[in-house]
Amino acid sequence: MSRIRITFLLALLLGTPLFAQQLTLQEALQSAQATNSIAQNAKITLEKQLNKANINSYLPSIDLSVGASASISLLDQESNALITPTASVSFSLSSSDRYTKASNTLLAKTAQTAFGTSIQNLKAQVTQTYWNVTAAELAYDQQLLDYEQKSISNAAIQAQFDNGKANTLAVSQAKLALFQAKLTVESRNNDFETAKQALQRLIGYEIEGTSDELMEVRDLKNLEFLQELSLSTTSIKQLSYQVEQAELALKKVRASSASPVVAMNASTSFSGSLSTSSSQIRDTTKVSVSVSFSLDPYLPNSSAQVTLENLQKDITLAKNTLEQGIKDIQQEVQTLYQSLLQIKANLEYLLEYQKVADETYNLTLASYEAGEVPYLTLQESEQQQQNVQLSILQQKVDYTVALYNLAYLLETDINTIINE
């Protein structure tokens, strides 16, 4: 049956619009990233971190000030106005600051990966919700077909009864089946509306349905190739940056407390006083260089020594976390890979089962028309057909979602993970 006819039946039965806006997955993803609060917050957080990373620690400090005062003597009939402008420029540089640029660069990288992770999580959520809508819509369409079949069967049974070829039990069973089919249509419609509402909350506007079709079963690239892709993902990069951060933290502390520190300070200031009677301008320039060396890190159990030891342990912890993260993501890849293979096997079995169910239904229908079996037996055979159709639909949804999840996990497109 054509989609237009199904939609027309839906409109007649429940009063919904005949023409609907259909949403693609790409449109859903774009809308979610543009309007969803999760994506917006992730973007703002990224901008904050990038601003922080762009701070220039080597800029001089510049201060400007000006003061004004006035005095008057009524007895002497004298007055005086005084203006005192002041300007100063100071600059300091220390050998302990040599890791500032590396620290800012690492901060920017970490912010980018954190943003990427937030967007990937949002994509996975939108994709799951999108295909839930598709599944609910397809299940609804299937139930509409069943309702039409039940309507035709009910009319046929009633005609047979009027001609004395069917009994009241068959008529009652046909009416009951039609009533149950209508209730199921309404239930499936509620499921469809609930699924749409979940997607609408993510994308920010109302829709009538989805337009993308479920993925066809394809052969995947080998597991080793997929696991190799996982090593360049955002999650692994984040863990790698944590190792770099731990190593950098140790270097910075060593530079400031466990090695000689050479510091230079320079400042220049101008000040003056301008009055009605006289004016004066003064300038002062100072330059100082100092060398300091702390012995605290070399004293047993000192705070500085313990700090250095703990920072070294932080590096070990970060490396262990990275190693475990690699194992976890590769295990996740393997789980999705095996799940896709299992779904493929399930679909192959269900398609064979569907052939048997269809054949059984045709034989049962012939037996019913020959008066060999009751109408209830025909209904049971028809229900088997519907059950296997729904099972196939669910497996196709599971396959599509798992395939997209694998692509999102590896941060690549689907064509990269399947064989052409």
pTM: 0.72
CB 359, CB 260: distance < 8 Å: no
- Kindly report which listed range (64-68, 134-138, 392-396) carries the lowest average pLDDT score: 64-68
Say how far apart CA 293 and CA 95 lie, in whole Å.
12
pLDDT category of residue 81 using cuts at 50, 70 and 90: low
CB 292, CB 261: distance < 8 Å: yes
Which residues in 114-125 are b (16+ Cβ under 10 Å) and which e? bbbbbbbebbbb
Q: Angle at the Cα of 110 (from 109 to 115), degrees rounded to 5?
A: 100
* Helix residue ranges per DSSP H, 21-167: 25-35, 37-53, 100-162
Residue 17: the pLDDT is 37
Span 130-155, average pLDDT: 89
If DSSP codes are grouped into helix, strand and coil, which group holds residue 272?
Answer: strand
Strand partners of residue 71: 80
Which domains occur in the chain, in start order?
215-258+295-420 (1.20.1600.10)
Say how far apart CA 137 and CA 21 lie, in whole Å.
14
Which residue has 């609930």 as its token pair?
Answer: 194
Say how far apart CA 101 and CA 106 lie, in whole Å.
9
Say how far apart CA 356 and CA 358 lie, in whole Å.
5
* pLDDT tens sequence across 225-260: 999 999 999 999 999 999 999 998 888 888 777 666
CB 407, CB 414: distance < 8 Å: yes
CB 364, CB 356: distance < 8 Å: no
